[in-house]
Amino acid sequence: MSKATRTPEGAFPGIRHDHGDCVAEALSAAEALCAQRGVRLTELRRRVFELVWSSHAPVGAYDLLSRLAREREGAAPPTVYRALDFLKEHGLIHRIESLNAFVGCRTPGQAHAGQFLICSECGMAAEIDDSRVNAAIDRRAKEIGFAVHSKTIEVEGLCPPCRDRAGEDGHGIG
Amino acid sequence: MSKATRTPEGAFPGIRHDHGDCVAEALSAAEALCAQRGVRLTELRRRVFELVWSSHAPVGAYDLLSRLAREREGAAPPTVYRALDFLKEHGLIHRIESLNAFVGCRTPGQAHAGQFLICSECGMAAEIDDSRVNAAIDRRAKEIGFAVHSKTIEVEGLCPPCRDRAGEDGHGIG
DNA sequence: GAATATTAGGTTATAATATAACATATCTTG
DNA sequence: CAAGATATGTTATATTATAACCTAATATTC
């Protein structure tokens, strides 16, 4: 199994996965990307990136701000939003439109749309990048004559563990 | 070609289409649906629905509010949001997450996700409902074991006329 | 048809998200 | 180091959305 493409089973990292590895991997990828592009992953941007990566659940800008404010006196909304803008611009994070929240990108540097499965129970988001989905949209757009710039694909539902848990509940006394 | 599924060419109604027909059709479909479900399409809800349908471009809640306020003294945010909630709940309108705006639904009453092509130039949105796109997402979700509840699919780009216009610009002096 | 419950809407306040505008600091480059 | 470019600090405000509580209209039951 290649390292580049994770298995579908890995879409939602288990509750016991070593998240430190996720963060470390993301950070080093981000550093490499910024170095390559000649842009600066400043301390602030790096810190905001780490905070976004603090879990696989998308996190709101003001959540980030309140955490940032603990360590950085005078942090204000623009502090966070500017860092987020930078990270987004360079494909290091994605914005989840349906949640007004941000999540780390699993495949930074690649041109990609960002397709997400988002669990409404536990909040976890899994980034998928399904070529069939992309192809189906592109095909349809082409039929219509629409020139695609970017795609927002956010699927809400239950991740495997939460789905199973919900199923158990349904089996009870009722 | 059946009447139920419009042609791809009709996805973006031309600038010269009879929009009164769109609104009239939408209204009568909404009335039928509400009657069938035994819910009330009150004067306020009906009016908000008409305002949402005032064009094929998604419209923000506060835009709706300012228009509503012209004819309804004391209209406030909840006035609009409650009507929008009702309309959304019954599948009469869709929320465009990437724009924080609302647009009339082309196929009310049917269970459907709502897939949109949105022109960043003119603002028009075309609702598509591509079964391949749906199938591709469902397939992928199934592989992962994710239980899909709802999908947000919003594709940003240029509608045919705006794409052509942009192309012309590109041919100039440069 | 009066009593009651339910649903819809009015009204005020405030929460949550995001950006504008301008000042200061830091980094880069000649 | 000087000059320009980039990044951040700071204050204010815009935009989007909801909470909470009250009144009015409609539906239901007796």
Count of structural domains within chain B:
2
B160 near A CB under 8 A: yes
**Are residue A98 and residue A143 in the same domain, yes or no?**
no
State how far residue B124 is from chain A, nearest Cα, in angstroms: 12
Which of B102, B98, B114, B27 shows the shortest CA–CA distance to B60?
A: B102
Task: Compute the average pLDDT of residues B50-56.
Answer: 97
B26 inside domain: yes
Residues B29, B82, single domain; the answer is yes
**Where residue A120 sits, what CATH number does that domain have?**
3.30.1490.190
Q: Domain check: are B89 and B132 in the same one?
A: no
pLDDT the model gives residue A170: 60
3-state helix, strand, coil split of chain A in percent (to 5) is 45, 15, 35
Give me the phi and psi of B134, to 5 degrees please. Answer: -60, -45
Whether A138 and A66 map to the same domain: the answer is no
The residue in chain B having the minimum alpha-carbon distance to the alpha carbon of residue A151 is: B155
Alpha-carbon distance A53 to nearest alpha carbon in chain B (angstroms):
22
Nearest residue to C19 (CA, C1')?
A78
Q: What is the pLDDT of residue B168?
A: 78
Residue A8 lies in a domain: no
Q: What is the pLDDT of residues A86-117, one digit of tens each?
A: 999 999 999 999 999 999 999 888 767 789 99
Q: Would residue A2 count as lying in a domain?
A: no
* Statement to judge: residues A150 and A101 lie in one domain: no
Question: Does the beta-carbon distance from A120 to B149 stay under 8 Å?
Answer: yes
Q: Say yes or no: A81 and A122 in one domain.
A: no
Regarding whether A169 and A116 lie in a shared domain, the answer is yes
Q: Same domain, yes or no, for B153 and B83?
A: no
| Whether residue A121 has pLDDT greater than 70 | yes
Q: Label residue A135 by pLDDT band (50, 70, 90).
A: very high
Domain boundary among A105, A128, A157: A105
A87 touches chain B (CB under 8 A): no
A98 touches B at CB < 8 Å: yes
> Nearest Cβ partner of A144 from B117, B144, B156?
B117
Question: Which chain A residue's Cα is nearest to B6?
Answer: A144
Spatial distance from the CA of A40 to the C1' of C26 (Å): 12
| Residue in B97, B128, B140 closest to A140 by CB | B128
Shortest-distance nucleotide from A99 CA to C1': C17
What is the bridge-based pairing of β-strands A147-158 and A115-119?
parallel
- Percent of residues, chain B, with pLDDT higher than 70: 91
Last residue of a domain, one of A105, A134, A153: A105
The CATH number of the domain holding residue B64 is 1.10.10.10
Query: Please, which pLDDT band fits residue A168 given cuts at 50, 70 and 90?
Result: confident
Confidence of residue B169 (pLDDT cuts 50, 70, 90): low
Statement: the CB of B45 is under 7 Å from strand C: yes
User: How does pLDDT run across B90-109, given as a tens digit for each residue?
Assistant: 999 999 999 999 999 998 88
Residues A172 and A152 in one domain: yes
Of the candidates A70, A105, A140, which is a domain's last residue? A105
List alpha helices for chain A, DSSP H.
Answer: 19-37, 43-52, 61-71, 77-89, 131-144, 160-170
Domain that holds residue B130: 112-174
Q: Is B157 on the interface with A (CB under 8 A)?
A: yes
Its ipTM equals 0.91
Question: Can you tell me the mean pLDDT for B151-160?
Answer: 97
In this structure, the protein residues whose CB atom falls closer than 7 angstroms to any atom of nucleic acid strand D are A 39-40, 42-45, 72-79, 82-83, 86; B 40, 60-63, 76-78, 81, 85, 95, 100
Residue B1, pLDDT > 70, answer no
What is the residue-averaged pLDDT of chain B?
91
Q: Are residues B121 and B98 both part of a single domain?
A: no
Q: Give the mean model confidence (pLDDT) for residues A73-78.
A: 96
8 Å CB contact between A54 and A93: no
CB pair distance less than 8 Å for A160 and B150: no
Q: Are residues A31 and A99 in the same domain?
A: yes
Of the candidates A90, A118, A75, A113, the one whose C-alpha atom is nearest the C-alpha of residue A26 is A90
Give me the mean pLDDT over the B19-27 stretch.
95
Which of B133, B141, B144 is closest, CB to CB, to A137?
Answer: B133
CA of B45 to C1' of D24 (A): 16
Q: Do both B86 and B150 map to the same domain? A: no
Q: Per the domain annotation, does B7 fall within a domain?
A: no
For B145-174, give the DSSP string: T-EEEEEEEEEEEE-HHHHHHHHHHHTS--
Nearest-neighbour CA in chain A from B118: distance (Å): 9
Question: What is the DSSP secondary structure assignment for residue B129, as one 8-state letter?
Answer: -
Q: Summarize pLDDT for A37-49 with one digit per residue, the tens.
A: 999 999 999 999 9
A137-153 pLDDT, tens digit each: 999 999 999 999 999 99
Closest CA to B134 of B146, B117, B151: B151
